[in-house]
């Protein structure tokens, strides 16, 4: 399988795959979702909660906060957070006080609870290591793939090209001066929704895909970098294949 990074910005990346087996690409996707170990809050002791939010809901919300997971701390036991706040206050993930600064919330602005005047929460939360097969809160990000788009415009001079271009939800079509085209370097952004084709007709713009190319997309929730996610997922996949090989 050949891989070429077509975009790698911040927390997301897109990789163009060629010479692949779809079953292997899907195994990679599943390995990202189910096989990568991350940290998440797993055990909450609530000392005080006079807010209108039930303890169980509060604990669930804490569990869903993505925590930075330094790979070097892998399997190194548990970490904890303390929270003690009094209303009126919007309590965010950044208000959690970590036992280790390297295991801070990945999205500090994430809202946990809105405390009204006089309401208070006081709690301690402990983390656990896990993967998406254990609980979805450990899943490190969003991952999906699709075939590489193919857009055919038989005649670029089209009356009302601007209106056709405006139908595109990801803004990859150019329709200036009644000339319809795909913006430079934007073809792989096409999500194959066919909104343009449905509007203008397949004789004006036709959407299909190339079955020998796949765009594999990963967006991290912030626990790990995309590179770490892919490396961990592939290593999990390798371990599983080796184990099967040894058993048969
Ligand atoms: S198929 Fe959808 S995303 Fe692709 S060019 Fe047409 S409108 Fe845009």
Q: Ligand 1 centroid vs 169 CA: distance in angstroms? A: 7
Ligand 1 atom, smallest distance to 171 CA:
8
Confidence category of residue 221, pLDDT binned at 50, 70, 90: very high
Q: Ligand 1 centroid vs 118 CA: distance in angstroms? A: 52
CA dist list (Å): 244 to 139, 237, 239, 240, 248: 24, 11, 9, 6, 6
Confidence category of residue 75, pLDDT binned at 50, 70, 90: low
Per-domain residue ranges of the chain: 2-35+142-218, 39-98+115-131
Residue 211 to residue 192: CA distance in whole angstroms? 13
Picking from 68-72, 179-183, 198-202, which range would have the lowest pLDDT averaged per residue?
Answer: 68-72
Confidence category of residue 1, pLDDT binned at 50, 70, 90: confident
Q: Ligand 1 centroid vs 203 CA: distance in angstroms? A: 15
Average pLDDT value for the chain: 93
Confidence category of residue 20, pLDDT binned at 50, 70, 90: confident
For the entire predicted model, the pTM comes to 0.83
Confidence category of residue 21, pLDDT binned at 50, 70, 90: confident
Residue nearest to atom 3 of ligand 1 (CA): 190
* 27-64 confidence digits (pLDDT tens): 999 999 999 999 999 999 999 999 999 999 999 999 99
Q: Where are the beta strands (DSSP E) in the chain?
A: 2-9, 12-18, 38-49, 80-86, 89-92, 97-98, 111-115, 120-130, 141-152, 173-174, 181-182, 206-220
* 138-158 confidence digits (pLDDT tens): 999 999 999 999 999 999 999
Q: Output the pLDDT for position 162.
A: 95
**Residue 241 reports pLDDT greater than 90:** no
Q: Output the pLDDT for position 5.
A: 87
Residues 119-136 have a mean pLDDT of: 95
Q: Output the pLDDT for position 56.
A: 97
Q: Output the pLDDT for position 9.
A: 87
Joined together, the tokens standing for residue 80 give 């904890």
Neighbouring-strand partners of residue 211: none
Picking from 52-66, 189-203, 231-245, which range would have the lowest pLDDT averaged per residue?
Answer: 231-245
Q: Output the pLDDT for position 3.
A: 86
Q: Output the pLDDT for position 4.
A: 87
Q: Judge whether 2-35+142-218 and 39-98+115-131 match in fold.
A: no
Is the distance from CB of 139 to CB of 67 less than 8 angstroms? no
Is the CB of 187 within 6 Å of ligand 1? no
CATH topology for 39-98+115-131 is RNA Polymerase Alpha Subunit; Chain A, domain 2 (2.170.120)
Among 112, 6, 8, which Cα is nearest to 60's?
Answer: 112
Burial class of residue 231, CB neighbours in 10 A (0-12, 13-18, 19+): middle
Give the CATH superfamily of 2-35+142-218.
RNA polymerase, RBP11-like subunit (3.30.1360.10)
Is the distance from CB of 127 to CB of 40 less than 8 angstroms? yes
Picking from 15-24, 113-122, 166-175, which range would have the lowest pLDDT averaged per residue?
Answer: 15-24
Q: Ligand 1 centroid vs 10 CA: distance in angstroms? A: 25
246 secondary structure, DSSP code = H
CB atoms within 10 A of CB 190: 22
Residue nearest to atom 2 of ligand 1 (CA): 193
Joined together, the tokens standing for residue 133 give 């097969």
């Amino acid at each position: 399988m050949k891989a070429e990074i077509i975009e790698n910005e911040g927390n997301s990346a897109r990789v163009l795959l060629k010479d692949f087996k779809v079953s292997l690409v899907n195994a990679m996707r599943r390995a990202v979702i189910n096989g990568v170990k991350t940290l998440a809050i797993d055990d909450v002791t609530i000392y005080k909660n006079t807010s209108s939010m039930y303890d169980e809901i509060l604990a669930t919300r804490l569990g869903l906060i993505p925590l930075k997971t330094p790979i070097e701390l892998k399997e190194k036991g548990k970490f904890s957070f303390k929270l003690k706040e009094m209303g009126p206050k919007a309590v965010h993930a950044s208000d959690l006080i970590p036992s280790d600064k390297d295991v801070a919330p990945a999205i500090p602005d994430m809202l946990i609870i809105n405390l009204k005047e006089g309401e208070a929460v006081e709690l301690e939360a402990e983390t656990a290591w896990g993967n998406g097969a254990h609980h979805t809160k450990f899943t490190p990000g969003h991952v999906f793939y699709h075939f590489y788009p193919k857009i055919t415009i038989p005649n670029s001079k089209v009356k009302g090209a601007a209106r056709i271009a405006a139908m595109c939800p990801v803004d990859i079509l150019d329709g200036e001066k009644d000339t319809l085209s795909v913006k430079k370097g934007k073809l792989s952004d096409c999500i194959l929704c066919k909104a343009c084709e449905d509007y203008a007709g397949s004789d004006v713009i036709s959407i299909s895909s190339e079955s020998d190319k796949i765009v594999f997309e990963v967006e991290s929730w912030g626990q790990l970098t995309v590179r770490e996610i892919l490396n961990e997922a592939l290593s999990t996949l390798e371990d599983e294949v080796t184990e099967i090989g040894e058993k048969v």
